[in-house]
Structure 1
Amino acid sequence: MKTYLLLAVVILGGTWTYVHFSSGPTYTVDYSTQVKPIINKNCISCHGGVKKQGGFSLLFQEEALGKTKSGKPAIIPGQPENSSFIQRLHSKNPEEKMPYQRPSLTKEDVDILTTWVKEGARWGEHWAYQPLKEPSLPNGNWWSKTLAFIGLKSGWEANDIDYFVAAEQKKQGLSHTEKASKPDLLRRLYLDLTGLPPTPAEYQEFEADASSNAYEKQVDKLLKSQHFGEKWASMWMDLARYADTKGYEKDDARTIWKYRDYVISAFNQNKPYDLFLKEQLAGDLLPNPTESDYIATAFHRNTTNNDEGGTDDEEFRTAAILDRVNTTWEVLQGTSFGCVQCHSHPYDPIRHEEYYKFMAFFNNSRDEDIPDDSPYYRHFKQQDQGKIDSLKNYLLAQPKQIQKEWTQTLRFVEPKIHPHWADQFVNGALADNKYLAVRNGGSLRFKAVPLMGKTSLLIACKNSGPAPTYITIRQGTKTGPIVTRLKLDTTLQEKYAKPKGLWSKGWAYAFYTIPSLPGKQDLVWEFTNAKTKPDQNTASIGFWMMIPEVPANLKPTDFQKMAYQIISASPETTTPVMLENPTEFTRTTRLFKRGSWLNPGEEMTRGIPALFSKKPVSNRLELAEWMGGKENPLTARVAVNRFWEQLFGTGIVETLEDMGSQGLTPVNQGLLDHLAYQFQYTFKYQTKELLKYIVMSASYQQSSIVSEKLREQDPYNRFITRGPRIRLNPEQLRDQALLWSGILSTKLGGASVMPDQPDGIWNAPYSGMQWLKSDGEDQWRRSLYTYWRRSSPYPTMVSFDAGTRDVCLSRRIRTNTPMQALNTLNDPVFIEASQFFARKYPITGAEFIKKGYLDLFGKPISENKLAKLNAFYVNMLAYYSKNNKETLAFLKLCPDNNVPKDPAILVAKTMVANALFNIDESINKP
């Protein structure tokens, strides 16, 4: 029986509100927030996804309520007195008492579990996995909300965010802080939205603007700045584990900077977040993918690649696939999925086999852990791009499959048969882990090669002998029937296309026609050269591939000539991308028993863990669409939590990498769900709209200056009782110094650069790569563009808590160490910036300090601080006036070698500028 109470409340014209009462059962214990934490802490290690002692597991409902090894269920809903799960908590027998050989549960915990069983042992879904619904605004100052609705402001709140914040503060007995000063607020806003501080002119402009929307105008201006994309791309680089090298011991170079440009552009264009994810996960599978779509997929080509000779390529290809699985879940879904590789999740109901069902989405990608990083998108010069466009016109009338095959061949030169496919070497070997080197009389085998009836063969090859080398290709074995005989001429480069810049002198792309063979075949290649000795190299093979047949209605000669020119063209640059294997190259995904790729089990088909969706999903594109779809509540929650963390220093859920039951609970779940709902439904995943919504809140605009009492009550500002005063990250610290000094390059995008760094940093990695300092403005580009070597990242980044990017990093844990101060005081970049800053001002002493401080922070310096800095200036001036040799040596640290009339004054000003760059106001966001 349901009853309804109708309340009539007259508010500015009258509003009718229905209050619904239900006579259904009420429950006093909640599984997700009360029961599950107790189980995770005390029971799950023996009765969960890893172990099931006594045949009892509390991870899945059906297992928890099912029969144990005793033949009876341990939990009987509604009957705690007959449930051994409860009775063992009270047992005096040490062999029966639970938790076994561990401290007893508290009376409060036992009462919760007992009540839970008594009330029916209702299972519940973890809060983060529940459907996303718009939460009601907290009860509170209804009059303020009503006035705000009609455009009148009564209370502190600026938008709905503040009602959620204020309600939580009230619950905790806390309060908010007054609004920050205009200079502090502007500096905070600039650093948060663009990663750069305001200029003196921008401080003055804001200070002079007395309009009611002065702050909003600044927000809108910064959201349109090109620097917005650079700031937020900097955050994304950690998540994408972006690096300019491949990792592992050799850590060779990789060209992938076009992906960074894609991310910058995506943020600047305000690309919807769901589309942003879709392009990165499956851009290659979109209908008619563009260059940008392909480049986006480099997100998952940022995995490490082991180029060291003697390693098992399948082992490290598999490692890359596993990393793609783990990164997808941690970065995009806030789920600790990696442990499911070896067993079912210890704490959340995700089964071991579901890891490999998900792995199957990524296991059919074309890459194979090979040195050349293929497949890669070849970015052509304009004249070569014109040839491609011409060939596309040729192909428009052809079936879609023929168009697709030729597009992959021309743009990617795929699918290749790489040297790593070869085995059973006789007088031959894999040389430098890159190509096959075979001596006269040598042979090798390519196993299970997909020929599929194709007859056009392309070989990247080099003839090393004084006479032609002949390759006899046999089917199956050394005694099998001869398929064809190929001639590698001594004039390969003149006769065939010359692949510029791919290998050393003498290489060529050679084209042959061979007889048709069906399906997959083992092929034995035998090499002979009449004028080469048995111990001499006769030929080298870089790769080979079967290329599509020329469409019947096209002129073979014209088409082939143009196609071969494009295939052999030297691209301006390349970008590793994701491509699906053609049907004939399809891989089978199997479960790895105990997580070992050497111990494969049953075959797995693609699927999403049942906890999140029971909808069938067949490929990466459908997976990406599910991730951004309405059925999935995690994507929006995880994203807004990350954006909040970037602005406030800590996420609403502190564990950005884990929103599961072992992660920390939200400090304000209503606020998190409100932001997630607004992001997904109101803002349609528009990142700029979300960020504007947050920075326009009164919560964000609070002063960070707070009373000692309030600081003690909320030491980590978890309840947003003040503005977000946090230390700048290393990218911001360096970029800020360059901007202040007037030397920052504002060039957008492009290849990575090598600014000044101490000598010897790269001596440890053995590959022989050198740090070649960039010239001109490139040495002063934003830190986002600094060359990132995984085995030896830029020192300032490491000192200030950046990772190596071997794997994704969901959040940087801020530390406070002496090394950080030594960096900002002594790093050549900061010394250079300090001297350039000093040279900007013709004034000296206290006037220089006052003017410099005002320009940096938009407000006057305090008398106490001025006195201390001026005393420092006087001491430095006295010292360097007496030590001319040191003075001149110090000036040489700066590229501007113009020695002033009184160099000691410039050095003293430089030291003061360096001190200004290191004071609290500089290092922290106000």
Structure 2
Amino acid sequence: MCVSPRSIFKIALLLISATDAGMAIAAESNPPTGAPSPADVEYFERKIRPLLHEHCFECHAADSKTLHAGLRLDSRSGMLQGGDSGPSVVPGKPDESLLISSIHYNDYEMPPKGKLSDRDIAELTNWVSRGAPFPAAASDDPAPAAGIDIQQGREFWSFQPLKESPLPEVANAEWPQQRIDWFVLAAQEAAGLQPADEADRRTLLRRLAFDLTGLPPTLAQQEQFVSDNDPEAYHRLVTDLMQSPAYGERWGRVWLDLARYTDATASWLNQEGKAHLYRDWVVRAMNDDMPYDEFVRRQLATDMIPETGPDDIAALGFLGLSPTYWKELQLPCEIIKVIVADEWEERIDAISRTFLGLTVACARCHDHKFDPITTEDYYALAGVIASSRLTARPLVSEEEYEPIRLAKEEVARLGTEIKALKKKKPLPKEEIDKLTAERNHLATATPGYSDPLATAVSEESLYVVPAGPTNHDGTRLDYKPGSQDLNLFIRGNPNRLGPIVPRRFLSVLSSDEPTPFQQGSGRLELADSITRQAAPLTARVIVNRIWLAHFGSGLVSTPSNFGQLGERPTHPELLDDLAARFVANGWSLKWLHREIVMSATYRQSSRRSDEQEQIDPDNRWLGRMNRRRLDIEAWRDAMLTASGQLDVTTPGESVSFDDNKNHYRTMYSTIHRRDMSKGLQLHDFPDPNGHSPQRIATTTALQGLYLLNSSFVAGQADALAARIVREAPGDLTAQIDLTHRLLFGRPATADEIELATEFLADQSDDPTSDVWRQYAHAVLGCNEFLFVD
């Protein structure tokens, strides 16, 4: 079979991409074995242990009065060994697991008091599918802990006060550029390593541009920086990039992953507030370099802070955009109470993991199995959440909004009246037309009537109460002004009440006995506690998140778990020193970014040496820069930039990701909590139903098919070809060189010019020809375009 040069060119480039894909797929097909991961343990503690504890342990645990059928379900070994009927669980194979068959009421009917809900069955099935992870500590000691020693818990490393660390001694004292470098170099030298050479200027420019703005460097930036030999050129470049509006968009998107941001949710949920107002508030806060402690306070309680105004209400979207679950109010309130309690748990999880790096939600049903967090701590925070109602609020003062509120009430009343009139026979058309005109006039003539409302929270408490005198009358959700303290829910069940727990902060993060919150719901006191009493932990967590985003791995590899099950920092003195100086410099994120990117550590080449491969293959000691793949936002934005079609304006409300006419930055594409775009799903976009601590890159065949067959990618290839021919007419060599500068930030090599010249032949000035379209499509698919060195 004869293959044309054109086909060889395209196939060769695609094979480069396929090589990495094969490696990634091979890695995925051989998952690590051994102890369960921190994520698996956290999943077990939050979702599985409470189910087993409530429905199984009474008959199938070491402390059961009578051990039924010889089966223990309070340890992994007990499940695998099984009882009189054989093994209860076959990890990874729910269809072969007796436990799953029994809860489906097939071979046996367990639990005998009543079949589990479909949701609980699905959860246990998913757990077995994941390999039935069961913490070793839980297997050894299935009984609840006798109590938590809070004083001893305060000695844990991540709860300690911050302090600047003395610089360590190093042999190569000429290498460090920032304080960061002394700590990194000391660890490298202790491991027998030396740092890599500094990356070349084009690599540094491309790395910096994507890291700080999420966009590739412009042609002008390439020319200016590469030819500027001034020692201050790099410093000026960093400053210019951080002053770009694109900086806030890049780092705002990083935050939105943590905040489980969504533009749209379930169709049945009446979402009056506009989510994009929170998104845009985050971007502005990043660009304005709002101090991080203030950034936290405003997202939890800006409406309670005297020095902030109504234009900051959008900040409350962190809570206002929380997932809301369907509640069928025809059901008894006992069922609805559980759903509401699940919502409260999700919000506590988002707050504690995002700001504190702690899995507080694990303490809903019992004291935390690993961290010094009690069940009372959990319900102390749950009272704050239960006293905060998700709602839509205006971005103006209550006085300014009052005439608008009255107008909306009147419009709603007229709408109800019109609807009733339309049911009459004969139809009173004149009366309907008159009321319709009155309604429309009121809506159009009232200033500010159509201004969007922000998704937010208000100071109202939710009570789930029966709708009538009997259990068959359904449920009513009753919101009342003011706050409430919750009873402790025994085993997490809101229908089994323990003592009342006053709203307050976590005991282990309080200097003494925590003081009950007194100001309304307690949201502001909670925010102040996070940024003041827990300042050392809060600072360590955000510093580690920023480090992770720059290097691809954190100093702590579990960015949302700084507890016992989390990994310990690779460079503890560096983390403490950087966090202490971050706080001392006014919690400035831009200061933090500058400290990192100005370091010699950050400026290293990503080339692997033989020595590093042998001593430190995972680059734990940072002897080189990690090569990283662009996330979907940066990859798509880079395509739009190269093709000349990127629209850098802010669209207001989001635009569909799948709309090929959408040329805005990808962060402005619609995120739908219940119906995520398939294009985003394919490219590792996080699930907006929950807090996402970091992106996990995968390489799949579907991604390759998207690259080959997507109408969006094909459209960008056509636009790229047209741009190249338009900007370098009649000169094929210049056209090929321009292509490489636009996509890879470097000039084309002689071999690349020769190969592309042979492929494009005599079609240099016809961008609509098949060869130009294929060439542009192929280079967009190159790994060099997808990765940053």
TM-score over 0.5 for the alignment? Answer: yes
Map of 2:155 onto structure 1: 125
Task: Report the Cα offset of residue 726 of structure 1.
Answer: 0.4
Task: Report the Cα offset of residue 497 of structure 1.
Answer: 11
Map of 1:754 onto structure 2: 656
How far, CA to CA, are the matches of 1:839 and 1:362 in structure 2?
Answer: 55
Residues 805, 53 of structure 1: CA spacing in aligned structure 2 closer, same or farther, 3 A cutoff?
same
Task: Report the Cα offset of residue 314 of structure 1.
Answer: 5.5
1:429-828 paired onto structure 2 within 5 Å: 461-462=416-417, 465=420, 570-581=449-460, 584=481, 586-613=483-510, 614-618=513-517, 619-629=522-532, 631-681=534-584, 683-748=585-650, 750-755=652-657, 757=658, 773=659, 779-828=662-711
> SS state of the match for residue 297, structure 1?
helix
Residues 655, 708 of structure 1: CA spacing in aligned structure 2 closer, same or farther, 3 A cutoff?
same
1:866-877 paired onto structure 2 within 5 Å: 866-870=753-757, 873=760
- More helix per residue: 2
How far, CA to CA, are the matches of 1:622 and 1:723 in structure 2?
Answer: 41
Q: Which has the higher contact order (CA 8 A, sep 6+)?
A: 2
Task: Report the Cα offset of residue 410 of structure 1.
Answer: 5.8
1:75-114 paired onto structure 2 within 5 Å: none
Task: Report the Cα offset of residue 274 of structure 1.
Answer: 0.5
Deviations 1:156-191 (A, max 9, x none): 110100001001111222221000000000000000
Task: Report the Cα offset of residue 255 of structure 1.
Answer: 2.6
Counterpart residue identity of residue 515, structure 2: P
Map of 2:265 onto structure 1: 246
How far, CA to CA, are the matches of 2:378 and 2:407 in structure 1?
Answer: 29
Tell me, yes or no, if the aligned pair for 1:183 and 1:857 is still in contact at 8 Å.
Answer: no
Map of 1:334 onto structure 2: 357
Match of 1:321 among 344, 356, 359: 344
Map of 1:223 onto structure 2: 242
TM-score under structure 2 normalisation? Answer: 0.71
How far, CA to CA, are the matches of 2:302 and 2:139 in structure 1?
Answer: 53
Match of 1:137 among 160, 164, 167: 167
Residues 319, 133 of structure 1: CA spacing in aligned structure 2 closer, same or farther, 3 A cutoff?
same
Tell me, yes or no, if the aligned pair for 2:644 and 2:720 is still in contact at 8 Å.
Answer: yes
Task: Report the Cα offset of residue 236 of structure 1.
Answer: 1.2
Map of 2:387 onto structure 1: 364
Tell me, yes or no, if the aligned pair for 1:500 and 1:570 is still in contact at 8 Å.
Answer: no
Tell me, yes or no, if the aligned pair for 1:249 and 1:308 is still in contact at 8 Å.
Answer: no
1:3-152 paired onto structure 2 within 5 Å: 125-141=155-171, 144=173
Map of 1:23 onto structure 2: none
Residues 325, 135 of structure 1: CA spacing in aligned structure 2 closer, same or farther, 3 A cutoff?
same
Map of 2:749 onto structure 1: 862
Give RMSD over aligned pairs. 3.9
Residues 412, 192 of structure 1: CA spacing in aligned structure 2 closer, same or farther, 3 A cutoff?
farther
Task: Report the Cα offset of residue 609 of structure 1.
Answer: 1.8
> SS state of the match for residue 319, structure 2?
helix
Tell me, yes or no, if the aligned pair for 2:359 and 2:561 is still in contact at 8 Å.
Answer: yes
Aligned length: 619
How far, CA to CA, are the matches of 1:497 and 1:616 in structure 2?
Answer: 57
Tell me, yes or no, if the aligned pair for 1:378 and 1:411 is still in contact at 8 Å.
Answer: no
Counterpart residue identity of residue 213, structure 2: T
Task: Report the Cα offset of residue 311 of structure 1.
Answer: 7.1
Task: Report the Cα offset of residue 902 of structure 1.
Answer: 4.8
> SS state of the match for residue 573, structure 1?
coil
> SS state of the match for residue 841, structure 1?
helix
Residues 160, 901 of structure 1: CA spacing in aligned structure 2 closer, same or farther, 3 A cutoff?
closer
Map of 2:373 onto structure 1: 350
Task: Report the Cα offset of residue 797 of structure 1.
Answer: 2.1
Match of 1:195 among 207, 210, 214: 214
Task: Report the Cα offset of residue 798 of structure 1.
Answer: 1.4
Residues 467, 794 of structure 1: CA spacing in aligned structure 2 closer, same or farther, 3 A cutoff?
closer
Tell me, yes or no, if the aligned pair for 1:376 and 1:412 is still in contact at 8 Å.
Answer: no
Map of 2:19 onto structure 1: none
Deviations 1:120-173 (A, max 9, x none): x988722111122222222335x94xxxxxxxxxx1110100001001111222
How far, CA to CA, are the matches of 1:723 and 1:663 in structure 2?
Answer: 24
How far, CA to CA, are the matches of 1:818 and 1:713 in structure 2?
Answer: 33
Residues 616, 207 of structure 1: CA spacing in aligned structure 2 closer, same or farther, 3 A cutoff?
same
Tell me, yes or no, if the aligned pair for 1:378 and 1:575 is still in contact at 8 Å.
Answer: yes
TM-score under structure 1 normalisation? Answer: 0.61
Tell me, yes or no, if the aligned pair for 1:835 and 1:907 is still in contact at 8 Å.
Answer: no
Task: Report the Cα offset of residue 913 of structure 1.
Answer: 1.8
> SS state of the match for residue 611, structure 1?
helix
How far, CA to CA, are the matches of 1:601 and 1:101 in structure 2?
Answer: 28
Task: Report the Cα offset of residue 833 of structure 1.
Answer: 1.4
Match of 1:171 among 187, 190, 195: 190
> SS state of the match for residue 457, structure 2?
coil
Task: Report the Cα offset of residue 463 of structure 1.
Answer: 6.4
> SS state of the match for residue 684, structure 1?
coil
Task: Report the Cα offset of residue 600 of structure 1.
Answer: 3.5
Could you tell me which runs of 5 or more consecutive residues in structure 2 were left unpaired when the two chains were aligned: 1-36, 65-135, 142-150, 425-429, 462-479
Task: Report the Cα offset of residue 784 of structure 1.
Answer: 0.4
Map of 1:910 onto structure 2: 773
Map of 2:108 onto structure 1: none
Map of 1:920 onto structure 2: 783
- Taking only the aligned residue pairs, the percentage that are identical comes to 28
Tell me, yes or no, if the aligned pair for 1:329 and 1:337 is still in contact at 8 Å.
Answer: yes
Residues 212, 411 of structure 1: CA spacing in aligned structure 2 closer, same or farther, 3 A cutoff?
farther
Tell me, yes or no, if the aligned pair for 1:499 and 1:570 is still in contact at 8 Å.
Answer: no
Task: Report the Cα offset of residue 847 of structure 1.
Answer: 4.6
How far, CA to CA, are the matches of 1:497 and 1:343 in structure 2?
Answer: 59
Task: Report the Cα offset of residue 327 of structure 1.
Answer: 0.2
Counterpart residue identity of residue 344, structure 2: I
Map of 1:270 onto structure 2: 289
Counterpart residue identity of residue 921, structure 1: E
Tell me, yes or no, if the aligned pair for 2:337 and 2:494 is still in contact at 8 Å.
Answer: no
Counterpart residue identity of residue 599, structure 1: R
Residues 299, 250 of structure 1: CA spacing in aligned structure 2 closer, same or farther, 3 A cutoff?
closer
How far, CA to CA, are the matches of 1:593 and 1:497 in structure 2?
Answer: 56
> SS state of the match for residue 634, structure 1?
helix
Tell me, yes or no, if the aligned pair for 1:305 and 1:316 is still in contact at 8 Å.
Answer: no
Map of 1:370 onto structure 2: none
Task: Report the Cα offset of residue 240 of structure 1.
Answer: 1.1
> SS state of the match for residue 578, structure 1?
strand
> SS state of the match for residue 706, structure 1?
coil
Could you tell me which runs of 5 or more consecutive residues in structure 1 were left unpaired when the two chains were aligned: 1-36, 56-97, 104-120, 145-154, 368-374, 380-384, 393-406, 417-434, 436-457, 470-489, 502-507, 510-563, 758-772, 882-899
Map of 1:285 onto structure 2: 304
Task: Report the Cα offset of residue 865 of structure 1.
Answer: 4.3
Counterpart residue identity of residue 248, structure 2: G
Task: Report the Cα offset of residue 868 of structure 1.
Answer: 4.7
> SS state of the match for residue 629, structure 2?
coil
Deviations 1:195-249 (A, max 9, x none): 0000111100101211110000000001110000000111111111111112488
How far, CA to CA, are the matches of 1:711 and 1:251 in structure 2?
Answer: 55
Larger CA deviation: 244-253 vs 662-671: 244-253
Task: Report the Cα offset of residue 414 of structure 1.
Answer: 14
Tell me, yes or no, if the aligned pair for 2:193 and 2:611 is still in contact at 8 Å.
Answer: no
Rg bigger for which structure? 1
Tell me, yes or no, if the aligned pair for 2:199 and 2:605 is still in contact at 8 Å.
Answer: yes
Task: Report the Cα offset of residue 309 of structure 1.
Answer: 5.7
Task: Report the Cα offset of residue 289 of structure 1.
Answer: 4.2
How far, CA to CA, are the matches of 1:163 and 1:127 in structure 2?
Answer: 22
- More strand per residue: 1
Task: Report the Cα offset of residue 291 of structure 1.
Answer: 2.5
Counterpart residue identity of residue 362, structure 2: C
